[in-house]
């Protein structure tokens, strides 16, 4: 069974530029999560999708971050414009149907904003 | 809001010895689940063990076991017969029974295995 795929693995941009991350969850998983992991901290949930609908985006900085999950499969997370404090690892995770089920994580995208 | 606290930023243990990582959490809910995740250097996070709050029996997975003290809101991880491959960041995490809000993670404990 293929795991959660993410791309790119690394990205370096200047502040005020835009960037997009892509995630392909495990086949058949209805729930998809995006987490932000700042160096030295645990991951923090940004947004949770159930199929193609948003379940929770209360911690997503909506003035600069956006995310979508078209057709309930792949997802894209975008930052526009990026700030220095957005430097972090962006993790995508998926689970079969949400709730308390085990979440499977992708390798993450490491973003550096200069 | 739920919080998860890991008070040990770093732990070191000799190979083949036993080590315990601490975790406490704060919640007003009665239905929830607790997890320990392992994040090796530059590799993806994987589940080590999970515990349902309604179960009194402590979860066990091979060399990994937990000590779940619900009244004290404590959830420690014991690693027996430590191996070099156990070296990683370990994160304690919480999720409510409904699953909304995703996982709430602690700051992690960096586990070093001394050969």
Q: Under an 8 A CB cutoff, do A45 and B102 touch?
A: yes
Q: Is B95 on the interface with A (CB under 8 A)?
A: yes
The alpha carbon of residue A106 and the mean position of all alpha carbons in its chain are separated, in whole angstroms, by 10
Interface contacts (A, B; CB < 8 Å): 62
Q: Indicate left, alpha or beta for B80 from its phi (over 0: left) and psi (-120 to 50: alpha).
A: beta
Using the predicted structure, report yes or no on whether residue B91 has a pLDDT greater than 70. yes
**Residue A81, preceding peptide bond in cis (omega within 30° of 0):** yes
pLDDT in tens, B71-83: 999 999 999 999 9
Across the interface, of A3, A42, A48, the residue whose CB is closest to B106 is A42
Pairwise CA distance, residues B6 & A109, whole Å: 25
Q: What is the mean pLDDT of residues A10-33?
A: 96
Query: Model confidence at A1, in pLDDT bands (50, 70, 90)?
Result: low
Question: Is B41 at the interface with chain A, CB within 8 A?
Answer: no
C-beta atoms of B105 and A43 within 8 A: yes
Check residue B112 and give its pLDDT.
97
- List the single residue in B with minimal CA-CA distance to A104: B46
pLDDT per residue as tens digits for the range A32-62: 999 999 998 999 999 999 988 999 999 999 9
- DSSP string of B23-50? -EEE-S-SSEEEEEEEE-TTS--EEEEE
Quick one: pLDDT at residue B99? 62
Residue of chain A with shortest Cα separation from B97: A100
A53 to chain B, closest Cα gap in Å: 13
Please indicate whether, in this complex, the C-beta atoms of A99 and B52 are within 8 angstroms of each other: no
Interface test with A, best of B36, B46, B89, B99 (most A CBs within 10 A): B99
B20-47: pLDDT as tens digits: 999 999 998 888 999 999 999 878 899 9
């Amino acid at each position: 069974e293929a795991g959660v795929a993410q791309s790119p693995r690394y990205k370096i941009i200047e502040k005020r530029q835009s960037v997009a991350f892509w995630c392909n969850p495990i086949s058949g998983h209805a729930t998809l999560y995006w987490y932000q992991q700042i160096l030295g901290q645990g991951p923090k949930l940004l947004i949770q999708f159930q199929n193609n609908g948003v379940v929770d985006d209360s911690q997503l900085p909506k003035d600069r971050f956006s995310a979508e999950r078209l057709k309930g499969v792949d997802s894209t997370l975008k930052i526009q414009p990026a700030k220095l404090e957005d430097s972090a690892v962006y993790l995508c995770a998926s689970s079969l149907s949400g709730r308390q089920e085990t979440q499977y994580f992708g390798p993450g995208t490491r973003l550096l904003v200069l | 809001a739920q919080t998860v606290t890991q008070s040990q930023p770093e732990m070191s243990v000799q190979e083949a010895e036993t080590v315990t990582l601490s975790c406490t959490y704060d919640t007003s809910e009665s239905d929830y689940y607790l997890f320990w995740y392992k994040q090796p250097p530059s590799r993806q996070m994987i589940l080590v063990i999970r515990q349902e709050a309604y179960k009194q029996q402590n979860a066990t997975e091979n060399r990994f076991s937990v000590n779940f003290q619900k009244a004290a809101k404590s959830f420690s991880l014991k690693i027996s017969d430590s191996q070099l491959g156990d070296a990683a960041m370990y994160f304690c995490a919480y999720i409510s029974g409904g699953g909304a809000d995703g996982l709430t993670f602690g700051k992690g404990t960096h586990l070093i295995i001394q050969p």
